[in-house]
Amino acid sequence: MTEDLGKIMVIGACGQIGSELTETLRDKYGGERVVAADKCTDPDREIVSGGAYEILDVMNRGDLKALLDKYGVDTVFNLAAILSAKGERDPQLAFNVNMVGTYNVLEVSRELDVDRVVTPSSIAVFGPEVPPKETPDQVYLRPRSMYGVTKVAGELLGYYYWKKYGLDVREIRLPGIISYKTYPGGGTTDYAVAAFYDALKKGHYEFFVEEGTRLPMMYMPDCIKALVSIAEADGGGLTERTNYNVGSMNFSALELAEAIQKFVPEFTYDFSPDYRQELADSWPDSLDDSLAREEWGWQPEYDLRATVGDMLENLARKLDGDVNVDLKDPVHS
């Protein structure tokens, strides 16, 4: 059984995930049921002109409350966040947007009696102390980034609002997200997107992590499926509420480079780790997501090969075909 989301607001709708989530929700629920909110103003962007759109800074609690009230919102998706790498450059900003922003969303939702709040947590909640392979949901959390600290606190705050006020808060721990529509901004896992762009545009990519760096990753269609599924899931079956691991695939940077090279044989690459290596090293290789599978039917669809093929096909189209890639005849090694 799935639940209807009623009137929906997506906060952070201009971002990598928010833009595609909004598009999916507009298609599924109808444009009149979905309000997008963020700070971008470019009228050429589909997100701004393709349906209801409001300018919002999630740190402004008064504006947030006025908008939720104006539209009679039942379900809030909060995607506004400063990711891990940018967050290490400016920890104060990451604290404010991620922590104060999350608090504002929860508090205003409580005040207005919103039905539910859905927000992503992240693999960044984990620190190097946890078992790196098939990391369980319930482990000791001591993240090494401000982003991770705010995500742990967001999980705990969400659980607190659920237990104390009965606010229906749902959170999933997303891995690195690969997509071609909106470029990610400021994450450690961005190399897994940038490698595709540079493979097609320059024929070469310099990874900012070591070749052996292995992280959990997910293709955007699975990410959207996970967010919509947890939002629509029968609340009675959700025991953990705010700390579900969601796994999909995992691969090393070298494995990704080799997978791209099968489609783009002249693609070359090298590895020059920078400050983001330490963040990547502090995160797990893979996740145990059995609870998400049991409680709300989580099931990813894309593996590495399917992801690489689909990414290159769509990115080549987006980049106007001005690239050297034969999608129908990948080189198998």
Retrieve residue 274's tokens.
Answer: 């920078």
Q: Shortest distance, CB of residue 289 to ligand SER, whole angstroms?
A: 15
Helices 191-201 & 304-318 angle (0-180, nearest 10) = 50
Q: Does 15 bind ligand SER (CB under 6 A)?
A: no
Question: Of the candidates 105, 114, 118, 123, which one interacts with ligand SER according to CB under 6 A?
Answer: 123
Q: Shortest distance, CB of residue 253 to ligand SER, whole angstroms?
A: 13
Task: Report angle CA 183, 319, 47 to the nearest 5 degrees.
Answer: 45
Q: Shortest distance, CB of residue 146 to ligand SER, whole angstroms?
A: 11
Give how far Cα 320 sits from Cα of 16, 201, 293, 314, 328, Å: 21, 11, 39, 10, 17
Q: Does 122 bind ligand SER (CB under 6 A)?
A: yes
Report the residue number, 15 or 51, with the smaller CB distance to ligand SER: 15
CA–CA dist 83, 58 (Å, integer)? 15
Retrieve residue 331's tokens.
Answer: 């080189």
Retrieve residue 26's tokens.
Answer: 């507009």
Binding to ligand SER (CB under 6 A) within 183-202 occurs at 187-189
Count of residues that bind ligand SER according to CB under 6 A: 11
Q: Shortest distance, CB of residue 151 to ligand SER, whole angstroms?
A: 8
Which ranges in 168-246 belong to alpha helices (H)?
A: 191-201, 220-232
Q: Shortest distance, CB of residue 283 to ligand SER, whole angstroms?
A: 8
Report the residue number, 51 or 175, with the smaller CB distance to ligand SER: 175
Report the residue number, 168 or 222, with the smaller CB distance to ligand SER: 222
Q: Does 84 bind ligand SER (CB under 6 A)?
A: yes
Whether 147 is a known active-site residue: answer yes
Which ranges in 113-176 belong to alpha helices (H)?
A: 146-165
Question: Of the candidates 35, 58, 76, 83, which one interacts with ligand SER according to CB under 6 A?
Answer: 83
Q: Shortest distance, CB of residue 123 to ligand SER, whole angstroms?
A: 5
Q: Does 147 bind ligand SER (CB under 6 A)?
A: yes
Share of the chain residues as helix, strand and coil, in percent rounded to the nearest 5:
45, 15, 35
Question: Of the candidates 127, 143, 158, 176, which one interacts with ligand SER according to CB under 6 A?
Answer: 176
Helices 191-201 & 253-263 angle (0-180, nearest 10) = 30
Choosing from 71, 103, 147, 160, the catalytic residue is: 147
Q: Does 179 bind ligand SER (CB under 6 A)?
A: no
**Residue 301: exposed, middle, or buried by beta-carbon count in 10 A (0-12, 13-18, 19+)?**
exposed
Report the residue number, 102 or 122, with the smaller CB distance to ligand SER: 122
Q: Which residues pair with 78 in a beta bridge?
A: 11
- Candidate segments 20-28, 117-125, 199-207, 299-307, binder of ligand SER by CB under 6 A: 117-125
Active site residues: 147
